[in-house]
Structure 1
Amino acid sequence: MSLGVWVSCSENDSMRIIRIIKSINTARHAAAALCLLLAGTAGAAETRPPLTLAGPASVVSFPLLHMIDSGALKSHADRVTFRLWQNPDQLRVLLANGQVDYTAAPANLPALLANRGEPVRLLNISVWGQLWLVSRDPQVRRYADLSGKVLLTSFSRDLPAILLDEVLRAEHVAGKVTLRRTRDMQDAVALMLAGQADHAVLGEPMASLLLWRNARAGGAPLYRSQSLASAWREAFPGQPALPQAGLMASSRRAPDLALSRAVEHAYAASARWCSAQPRACAELTHRHLPQLPVAAIEASIRVTRLDSRPASEVRPQLEALYRLIADKHPQAIGGRLPDVGFYGP
């Protein structure tokens, strides 16, 4: 029957039918092309997974926050977020659970993980000392002046504790200073503000926060006595640089060398911006960490050497520190120096 209908059509009717068929085919082709385009777009999205950056509420993390706000990694990830951690133990858990991609960390932690078989990589060192001695006594100008006194410290097993122990030993006051351990730096700040302690060693920005809050409250004068980095230079003239903290790649990101290089380069650029624009960096950081006042953040940037250097470039300084740790605190780095491939990016 359909053949009979076709034969009885006029020439004009036939042409209209042909045009309809062509239109249908064209539409099918267009639909197929659109599907391919959408599939390609979806595939591209899948190759740009979100990235989680992490760090403590300290100067080493400030460039990470600028990287997020400036979109420094927009060509590498569709979404970049920041996760705050409170202590190295918490960071170890986050890394073990695959919850962070790149994180700020004390220089010993990635070495420890690498020596335990985790394929992490240290990308850079950006903070070269951020610990300060704060005192109520204007005569206490150096760590050596603490003999016979009580010193508040929240550090017990991590890198700052090791550095403090080494400086006190080098100044010949180890055993002559009573270390009063606090739960964390916030507790040390509270005790100093309440007049229940006279001396404390604090990391930035907590040292600056203590001085700012004390001034605002009209308390008895407190003094920023000596940075631990300065004491380190005096105590160890053969290895004066103190590579304290930097950026590391997690075990799942370390094999991606191109991405790790991009992250390290972006971090370095943001670190330069923070150093050159301390007020703007402080205001940006305050938006992410509102518990810290802008003035204290700005002061912490101004007194901290924020100088991002690739780990491979500063490997001699790192190995000098690792050798000292391995000699007296071997458990802090896993007992030996990391392999050459550890030093990134």
Structure 2
Amino acid sequence: MKTRIAALAALFVLAAWGGLHLIHQTTSSASAPGQTVLSVYTTGQATTPQMPLWKALAEGDLSFTPDIHYWKNLDDLRGLLLAGKGDIWVGHIDGFAQAAMRGAPVRLVSVTGWKKFYLLTSRPGIRTFDDILALPTGAEIASTPPHSPGAAVLRALEKKGLPAFTYAPYEPKQLALMAVQGKADLLLLPEPLVTVLLRKAPHLRIVASVEEEYGRLTGKPAMLPIAGIAVNLETLKNNPGLADRIARALAGQEAELKRDPAAGLDTMPKEFEKFIPRDMVLSSLERDIIHVRSAHEARDMIRDYLDMVFSGENGEGSRMLPESFFGGAS
């Protein structure tokens, strides 16, 4: 009975986190007379990647009024991008890039999400990443979301000695239920789902950070350009310099957010509390990093990352990405 209650509780939290996304919400902010109104499409699944944006808006570093919309899932976001619907988008770098390579009017402005994926387990014999390295080829790792960038990075690390594991994809709510019931004991997950599961399934523990192990095995920085802020190219025609202004404003928030991450939460729209409780967000920030770079600055890291994520898609990597994709002040 206790297991069933815990499982239902986990699913309830996941629904709030955004795993079910039953509602496509819209929130309009009151605009100052004569001030530009821009539609911002965002998600309740992300916290750190968008805190600099909301803080910059709250403090007047950006002089437009956001008309806030919430995309429901990655398919919904992909459709918005390809249709060119919206002025500003908060989302995943690979999703932005994939849309741009298919002709969508997308310019990435800033990378704001750099550390998201973790390996969790309940197996007594797995305590460190070295124990993961000792697993046999073909060992199964349950992963979420489907087509997880974290799994793509781990596959790329096979060239650095990581065994070729089998990654079993699941929807977040499905994998959460399996984990709570003890039916999955080696998992690959992003924050803030990691925090949710650690509370609801205390038999699980973190073994490793994908980004940290990427850095250790490659000798590169232990971070990856996972999420950020993009702007519609059509919007930029009517708002010259907007991409640079956003990039500078977000970068200007980095130092203060590093000192006090909670200050960023205070400026986010109140609707975010419907997706994941504030205390869970604060806990997830303990494993996240505050780091803001323009797409122009992070171009090489973005290309390296996309070459890993898209390596199985006809080998296209980042070669088909237009140069107009990389925006923001240098």
User: TM-score of the superposition, structure 2-length normalised?
Assistant: 0.75
Shift of 1:205: 0.7
SS of the residue corresponding to residue 252 of structure 1 reads helix
1:276 and 1:86 map into 2 onto residues whose CA distance is 32
2:92 maps to amino acid: P
1:194 maps to amino acid: Q
Q: Which has the larger radius of gyration?
A: 1
> Is 1:260–2:246 an aligned residue pair?
no
Task: Choose from 161, 164, 168 the match for 1:180.
Answer: 168
Structure 1 spans left out of the alignment, 5+ residues: 1-43, 216-220
Report the counterpart of residue 308 of structure 1 in structure 2: 292
1:206 maps to amino acid: L
User: CA deviation digits over 1:142-182, x for unaligned, max 9?
Assistant: 242543643211244353342232235644321xx343321
Report the counterpart of residue 227 of structure 1 in structure 2: 209
> Is 1:237–2:219 an aligned residue pair?
yes
Report the counterpart of residue 106 of structure 1 in structure 2: 92
Report the counterpart of residue 342 of structure 1 in structure 2: 325
SS of the residue corresponding to residue 248 of structure 1 reads strand
1:138 and 1:265 map into 2 onto residues whose CA distance is 47
CA contact (8 A) 2:38 2:88 kept: no
CA 1:117/1:290 → structure 2, altered by over 3 Å: closer, same or farther? closer
Task: Choose from 119, 139, 149 the match for 1:159.
Answer: 149
1:97 and 1:274 map into 2 onto residues whose CA distance is 34
Report the counterpart of residue 48 of structure 1 in structure 2: 36
Report the counterpart of residue 22 of structure 1 in structure 2: none
What value does the CA root-mean-square deviation take over the aligned residues? 3.1
1:62 and 1:263 map into 2 onto residues whose CA distance is 13
Task: Choose from 244, 249, 273 the match for 1:289.
Answer: 273
CA 1:321/1:96 → structure 2, altered by over 3 Å: closer, same or farther? closer
SS of the residue corresponding to residue 173 of structure 1 reads coil
SS of the residue corresponding to residue 289 of structure 1 reads helix
Shift of 1:319: 2.6
SS of the residue corresponding to residue 173 of structure 2 reads helix
CA contact (8 A) 1:135 1:199 kept: yes
> Is 1:318–2:298 an aligned residue pair?
no
Paired positions, count:
290
CA 1:138/1:275 → structure 2, altered by over 3 Å: closer, same or farther? farther
CA contact (8 A) 2:40 2:88 kept: yes
Structure 1 residues 19-30: aligned runs within 5 Å: none
What is the percent sequence identity of the aligned residues? 20
CA 1:240/1:204 → structure 2, altered by over 3 Å: closer, same or farther? closer
> Is 1:87–2:87 an aligned residue pair?
no
CA contact (8 A) 1:286 1:292 kept: no
CA 1:72/1:136 → structure 2, altered by over 3 Å: closer, same or farther? farther
Report the counterpart of residue 283 of structure 2 in structure 1: 299
CA 1:167/1:342 → structure 2, altered by over 3 Å: closer, same or farther? same
SS of the residue corresponding to residue 64 of structure 2 reads coil
1:103 and 1:198 map into 2 onto residues whose CA distance is 35
1:214 maps to amino acid: A
CA 1:98/1:238 → structure 2, altered by over 3 Å: closer, same or farther? closer
CA contact (8 A) 1:131 1:227 kept: yes
CA contact (8 A) 2:118 2:206 kept: yes
CA 1:296/1:100 → structure 2, altered by over 3 Å: closer, same or farther? same
2:143 and 2:76 map into 1 onto residues whose CA distance is 19
Structure 1 residues 206-217: aligned runs within 5 Å: 206-215=193-202
Shift of 1:207: 0.5
Structure 1 residues 193-208: aligned runs within 5 Å: 193-208=180-195
User: CA deviation digits over 1:60-96, x for unaligned, max 9?
Assistant: 234344455x25466223xx13333343321111223
Report the counterpart of residue 233 of structure 2 in structure 1: 251
Structure 1 residues 50-69: aligned runs within 5 Å: 50-55=38-43, 57-58=45-46, 59-67=48-56
Moved more, 306-315 or 243-252: 243-252
2:295 and 2:318 map into 1 onto residues whose CA distance is 20
CA 1:168/1:304 → structure 2, altered by over 3 Å: closer, same or farther? farther
1:332 and 1:76 map into 2 onto residues whose CA distance is 40
Report the counterpart of residue 17 of structure 1 in structure 2: none
2:169 and 2:309 map into 1 onto residues whose CA distance is 22
1:199 maps to amino acid: L
CA 1:149/1:88 → structure 2, altered by over 3 Å: closer, same or farther? same
Shift of 1:195: 1.6
Report the counterpart of residue 3 of structure 1 in structure 2: none
Moved more, 251-260 or 119-128: 251-260
CA 1:62/1:266 → structure 2, altered by over 3 Å: closer, same or farther? same
Report the counterpart of residue 119 of structure 1 in structure 2: 105
SS of the residue corresponding to residue 211 of structure 1 reads helix
Report the counterpart of residue 5 of structure 1 in structure 2: none
CA 1:190/1:282 → structure 2, altered by over 3 Å: closer, same or farther? farther
Shift of 1:272: 4.4
